[in-house]
């Protein structure tokens, strides 16, 4: 019988022990709780999300700069191809490399610093043997049938958050046959 009493006594103390342990568990849960963890996780996630959005925006501007450089190279080679040695009724006939550079720098594209645009014009003459190869002339050989090659380069400043600042050199080349 005494064994039953102990058991009965222990049964009576069980709710008190559970209350004590549950109170201690609640305090421990509050100390190491995750009440503010979602706020911290959201803040960290938003930092990377905003950085990714700025990265997409910067790369879109870099593509715009490439579009400009490509268009400028085509425009410069067209300008030089119709202003060869036999040009008569256009302004700036016999276009030089400096004239081509100033023509391109006169084009206005938004968000492009025209003073940083580099234009290089090279005149090419055809070989007499077959297959035809093109080589650079020692001086400006702008006779009809020869080619003009224009290379336009622009240093695009890349600025993405959380990434070191750098510069991407955007370049395009255009070659056309001199018509006049």
Separation of alpha carbons 105 and 121, rounded Å: 14
Query: pLDDT for 66-98, tens place per residue?
Result: 999 999 999 999 999 988 888 888 887 888 889
| pLDDT at res. 126 | 84
Query: pLDDT for 92-115, tens place per residue?
Result: 788 888 999 999 988 888 888 888
- Strands (E) in the chain, as ranges, are 118-126, 134-136, 147-158, 166-177
Separation of alpha carbons 14 and 27, rounded Å: 20
Distances (CA, A) of 73 to 20, 39, 97, 169, 170: 81, 51, 13, 15, 12
Query: pLDDT for 142-166, tens place per residue?
Result: 888 899 999 999 999 988 888 899 9
Query: Structure pTM?
Result: 0.71
Residue spans per domain, the chain: 56-177
List the structure tokens of 102.
């100033």
Please compute the mean of the pLDDT values over residues 128-141 and round it to a whole number.
83
Res. 24 pLDDT band, cuts 50 70 90: low
Answer whether residue 44 shows pLDDT above 80: yes
Average of per-residue pLDDT values in the chain: 83
Q: What are phi and psi of 140, to 5 degrees?
A: -70, 105
């Amino acid at each position: 019988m005494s064994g039953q009493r102990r058991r009965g006594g222990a049964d009576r103390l069980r709710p008190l022990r559970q209350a004590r342990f549950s109170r201690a568990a609640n305090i421990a849960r509050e100390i190491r709780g995750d009440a503010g963890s979602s706020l911290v996780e959201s803040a960290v996630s938003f930092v990377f999300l905003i950085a990714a959005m700025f990265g997409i925006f910067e790369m879109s501007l870099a593509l715009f700069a490439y579009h400009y450089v490509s268009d400028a190279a085509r425009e410069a080679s067209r300008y030089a191809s119709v202003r060869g040695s036999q040009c008569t009724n256009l302004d700036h006939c016999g276009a030089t490399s400096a004239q081509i550079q100033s023509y391109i720098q006169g084009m206005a594209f938004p968000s492009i610093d025209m003073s940083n645009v580099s234009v290089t014009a090279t005149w090419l003459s055809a070989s007499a043997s077959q297959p035809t190869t093109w080589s650079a002339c020692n001086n400006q050989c702008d006779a009809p049938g020869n080619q003009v090659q224009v290379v336009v380069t622009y240093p695009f400043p890349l600025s993405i958050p959380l990434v070191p600042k750098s510069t991407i050199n955007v370049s395009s080349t255009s070659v056309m046959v001199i018509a006049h």
